[in-house]
Amino acid sequence: MELGPMLAEALSETEESTEELGEALGSVLAAGDVVLLIGGLGAGKTAFTRGIARGLGVAERVASPTFVIVRQYQGRLPLAHADLYRLEEGDAFAIDMLELGEPGSVTVIEWGDRSAGVFAALEPLAVTFEADGAHRRRLTFAGSAQRWGGRLASAGLLEGAHGAGA
């Protein structure tokens, strides 16, 4: 699966720090943006999404959509939060039924790598979470530099980035 060039990376040592990284991203998201979250169970994808929601001004608390597959929230933009864990990998029909990636909304998709091909045309930002021990998480951000580079910079996510081609 082609995620595009790595644009930034960040280290988090606490759940709150992961939420803050999500909040920074959420503050620069725009209608039509798709964010794919990639990483194993407990990697921090839902924590990061709680932060995105905060950055979008969603007042409601974000819950894991594992069983309902998609939950909708309203902030300064509508937020669709999906979790594809229970879908068959590559089930393009089911993904189509979910109507993700609507142009007026922000869409955040946990286990987004299961269907990255479906979303490729929407130029998603891919955030990959690697756990190193109980608390340390390494987040890497990849995608179209043209679409995402400036906004990651505005969000402060390029600061301290290593190997990001800066």
Ligand X SMILES: Nc1ncnc2c1ncn2[C@@H]1O[C@H](COP(=O)(O)OP(=O)(O)O)[C@@H](O)[C@H]1O
Q: Which of residues 48-67 bind ligand X (CB under 6 A)?
A: 64
- The item of ligand X, Mg ion, none sharing an interface with residue 81, based on CB under 5 to 8 Å by kind, is none
* Amino acid (one-letter) located at 96: D
Cβ-closest position to ligand X: 44
Q: Measured from the CB atom, is 3 or 38 closer to ligand X?
A: 38
What are the E-state strand segments in the chain? 6-12, 34-38, 70-74, 78-83, 106-110, 125-132, 136-142
- The item of ligand X, Mg ion, none sharing an interface with residue 91, based on CB under 5 to 8 Å by kind, is none
CB 55 within 8 A of CB 26: yes
Q: Cα separation of 111 and 1, whole Å?
A: 13
Which of 39, 55, 124, 149 touches ligand X by CB under 6 A? 39
Q: Measured from the CB atom, is 47 or 58 closer to ligand X?
A: 47
Q: Measured from the CB atom, is 85 or 120 closer to ligand X?
A: 85
The encoded tokens of residue 115 equal 């269907």
| CB-neighbour burial class of residue 96 (10 A; exposed 0-12, middle 13-18, buried 19+) | exposed
- Residue 18 found at the interface with Mg ion (CB under 5 A): no
- Residue 45 found at the interface with ligand X (CB under 6 A): yes
Which of 64, 70, 78, 98 touches Mg ion by CB under 5 A? 64
